[in-house]
Amino acid sequence: MPETQFEALRLELLRGGVAPVYVERTIEELGEHYADLEGAALAAGQSEEEAARMARDALGDEGAIAAAILSRPELLGFSSRYPRVAHCLHSAVAIGSIPGLPLVYCIEHRPELARWGAALGLAITLVGSILAALDWLIVLG
């Protein structure tokens, strides 16, 4: 089987959520089987092209190989088998720690916090001005 077909199978398995260690082992084993089948055909007197065709035919369709591997949930990676748990763990690791959560929130929401800060500053200035004016009127009165 040509290397490009192995690469397409590798990508299909990785996209399907198979753990990378199983993908690499599968590709390695397929390569060994292909080499053995091709070598046996060459030893039997077949031409190189005929030996390659016979090896491909003996291995089977790569879609069928991928379907057989993808049908086994024990070969899937952790994040594919348990996506919600993986998402929660990823979020916890991305944040770093609970004390850092407010800092992360502030960094991610800078524009919103700037608007709230400006509105709060304006409100404090307005209320402070009204209270100062009322205090001034009470003192004069």
Each residue's pLDDT tens digit, 6-22 = 888 999 999 999 999 99
Residue 84 lies in a domain: no
Range of the domain at 24: 3-76
82-129 pLDDT, tens digit per residue, is 888 777 777 766 655 566 666 666 777 788 888 888 999 999 999 999
Task: Read off the pLDDT of residues 44-94 as tens digits, 9 standing for 90 and up.
Answer: 888 889 988 998 888 888 888 999 999 998 888 888 888 887 777 777 666
Distances (CA, A) of 3 to 9, 10, 30, 32: 10, 10, 11, 12
Residues 116 and 63 in one domain: no
In terms of domains, do 66 and 8 share one?
yes
How many C-beta atoms lie closer than 10 Å to residue 91's C-beta?
A: 9
Q: Which of 52, 76, 100 is the last residue of a domain?
A: 76
If one counts the domains in the chain, the total is: 2
Domain membership of residue 61 (yes or no) is yes
Is residue 69 domain-shared with residue 16, that is, in the same domain? yes
Tell me, yes or no, whether 81 lies in a domain: no
Q: Residue 23's pLDDT band (boundaries 50, 70, 90)?
A: very high
**Tens digits of residue pLDDT in 37-49:** 999 999 988 888 9
Give percent helix, percent strand, percent coil of the chain, each to the nearest 5: 85, 0, 15
Band (pLDDT 50/70/90 cuts) for residue 2 is: low
Residue 53 lies in a domain: yes
Half-sphere exposure of 37 (CA within 13 A, CB side): 19
Residue 85 lies in a domain: no
Is the same domain home to 59 and 124? no
